[in-house]
């Protein structure tokens, strides 16, 4: 059982008597606690006076109401697209195995991809701004705010703003739409501003003296490169005495062959030069996919792919680029070195991955993830880096948002020295702004899901009601009943798919 699961069990044991106290004890109201289904509401009046002051600029908030609905619509389309793609990919997700329950919890300290202090600060900013926006729009539309506070169940579920229910029921459709769309739009705007500050103001003003050198962004523990003494963050200068120029082209060649035993010359922080122990340099197979071409032809983990059809691969990027030129059912000749050092040539038929060929291997470069300092900056600051059209731009954006799940930091401490003598405060600002961007954007997108109790569910309900009215259904009571029926059915479907995707991902 994982440590995260043990922590959750302990927190649940502690939570049960607290929940019982909130349910049964007459003293619970004294502590502003009340039972809210299986959760606890902790009621306060924090921020209400500030909301009253800010809401006075009603013309601005009317404009924000229109903008919020536009952003909510765009993000709703995006989250529906993400859900559809995830459902289509469920079979491959099942075959890869789960990521673990800790990744499904956006809680710093439990989720390993969230740095604790940066993640905590970013999460607090996202939740407070989200709920504050709801409160301001409520007040700007004449709705009273009854309470603000925290919703808690084993772990904190989030902050809340609770308008007077009577006011919400009497409010116009536009006021309700403005109210529910406000949080979605606010998270998106804050995320966008944080991204612009992070990518242009901060990262846009730095460069590296090693711009085009091969650099070790990350490294697997116990890999050939690790055992040879090359650390993460190293800048590679030479391989076997020959200058090494980073390239993902499979047309680049050197005097030595991929898979050869070589000595690597590299520099670390401070400019100190080092030489590695002899190691094999090449496209290293860390894992094979059951039943695919590599596994059925005898290529096993620990092998090095030297070439395919005579094309030599000095980087894993060169291997990937070559594979993108192949097609399913294509017969190829593969040269590789097995884990015992024997040179093997085999002929095999590639599988299919969409329209291209598929060998069925997970690879890296002798355990290293190589990049150039210049490419890392471009990659970190531009979600559309390398995009050729609107389709690849969309895929690039979604891939950028998924980066943290594959360990993207974006500029980890081990590589910060590549960019000169920037202060510690500079890198703290970079990291904090990145996580403010990431958490706000994901919170905004997920809240746009057209399902109750997400904000998107209520926004979708209002839009359905508006469409029915435009179609000629003037009876308000009958229209509301029909709108609730349609929105409820869509909500049930989306929630089912959403929960299914999460369960499959964590199992």
What's the pLDDT at 22? Answer: 73
Tell me, what's the pLDDT at 333? 94
pLDDT score, position 4: 60
> What is the reported pLDDT for 111?
61
The pLDDT value recorded for residue 113 is 65
What is the pTM (predicted TM-score) of this model?
Answer: 0.77
Chain region(s) in the chain for CATH 2.30.42.10 = 283-359
Contacts of 362 (CB under 8 A, 6+ apart): 285, 286, 287, 288, 289
Query: What is 283-359's CATH superfamily?
Result: PDZ domain (2.30.42.10)
Identify the pLDDT of residue 392.
72
**Which pLDDT score, from 0 to 100, does residue 185 have?**
92
Q: What pLDDT shows up at residue 300?
A: 92
pLDDT lower than 70: segments of the chain: 1-5, 31, 91-114, 155-158, 405-408, 505-507
State the pLDDT at residue 93.
57
Give the model's pLDDT for residue 197.
Answer: 92
- Angle at CA of residue 85, ends 220 and 4, nearest 5°: 45
User: What was the pLDDT predicted at 11?
Assistant: 77
Q: How many residues does the chain have?
A: 507
User: What residues pair up with 39 in beta bridges, in sequence order?
Assistant: 36
Helix or strand or coil: residue 325?
A: coil
Structure confidence by residue, pLDDT tens digits, 446-479: 888 898 878 888 899 888 988 888 888 877 788 8
Alpha-helix runs per DSSP H in 279-413: 293-296, 316-323, 373-381, 390-402
> What angle do the packed helices 424-447 and 390-402 form, to 10 degrees?
110
Provide the pLDDT for residue 442. 85
pLDDT in tens, 482-493: 888 888 899 898
Look at residue 445 in the predicted model and tell me its pLDDT: 87
């Amino acid at each position: 059982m994982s440590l995260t699961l043990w922590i959750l069990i302990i927190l649940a044991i502690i939570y049960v008597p607290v929940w019982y106290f909130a349910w049964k004890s007459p003293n619970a109201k004294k502590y502003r606690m009340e039972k809210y289904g299986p959760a606890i509401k902790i009621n306060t009046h924090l921020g209400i006076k500030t909301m009253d002051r800010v809401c006075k600029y009603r013309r601005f908030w009317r404009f924000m109401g229109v903008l919020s609905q536009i952003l909510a619509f765009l993000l709703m389309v995006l989250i529906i697209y993400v859900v559809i793609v995830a459902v289509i990919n469920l079979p491959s997700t099942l075959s890869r195995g789960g990521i673990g329950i800790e990744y499904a919890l956006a809680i710093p300290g439990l989720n390993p991809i969230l740095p604790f202090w940066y993640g905590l600060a970013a999460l607090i900013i996202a939740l407070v701004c989200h709920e504050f926006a709801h409160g301001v729009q409520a007040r700007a539309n004449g709705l009273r705010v009854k309470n603000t506070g925290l919703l808690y169940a084993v772990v904190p579920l989030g902050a809340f703003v609770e308008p007077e229910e009577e006011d919400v029921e009497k409010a116009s459709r536009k006021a309700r739409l403005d109210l529910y769309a406000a949080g979605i739009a606010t998270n998106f705007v804050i995320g966008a501003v944080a991204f612009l500050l992070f990518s242009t103001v901060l990262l846009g003003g730095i460069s590296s003296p090693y711009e085009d050198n091969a650099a070790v962004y990350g490294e697997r523990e116990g890999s050939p490169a690790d055992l040879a003494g090359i650390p993460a963050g190293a800048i590679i200068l030479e391989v076997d005495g020959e200058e090494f120029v980073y390239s993902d082209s499979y047309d680049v060649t050197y005097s030595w062959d991929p898979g050869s035993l070589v000595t690597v010359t590299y520099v670390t922080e401070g400019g100190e030069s080092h030489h590695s122990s002899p190691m094999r340099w090449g496209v290293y197979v860390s894992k094979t996919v059951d039943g695919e071409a590599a596994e059925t032809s005898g290529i096993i983990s620990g092998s090095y792919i030297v070439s395919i059809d005579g094309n030599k691969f000095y980087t894993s990027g060169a291997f990937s680029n070559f594979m993108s030129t192949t097609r399913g059912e294509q017969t190829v000749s593969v040269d590789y070195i097995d884990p015992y050092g024997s040179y093997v040539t085999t002929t095999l038929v590639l599988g299919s991955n969409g329209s291209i060929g598929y060998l069925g291997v997970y690879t890296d470069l002798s355990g290293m993830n190589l990049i150039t300092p210049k490419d890392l900056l471009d990659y970190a600051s531009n979600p559309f880096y390398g995009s050729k059209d609107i389709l690849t731009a969309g895929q690039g954006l979604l891939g950028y948002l998924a980066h943290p799940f594959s360990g993207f930091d974006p500029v980890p401490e081990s590589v910060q020295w590549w960019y000169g003598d920037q202060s510690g405060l500079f890198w703290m600002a970079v990291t904090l702004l990145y996580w403010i961007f990431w958490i706000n954007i994901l919170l905004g997108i997920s809240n746009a899901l057209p399902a109750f109790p997400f904000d998107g569910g209520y926004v979708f309900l209002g839009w359905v009601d508006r469409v029915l009215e435009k179609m000629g259904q003037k009876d308000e009571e009958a229209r509301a009943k029909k709108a609730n029926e349609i929105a409820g059915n869509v909500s049930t479907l989306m929630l089912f798919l959403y929960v299914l995707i999460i369960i499959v991902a964590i199992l």
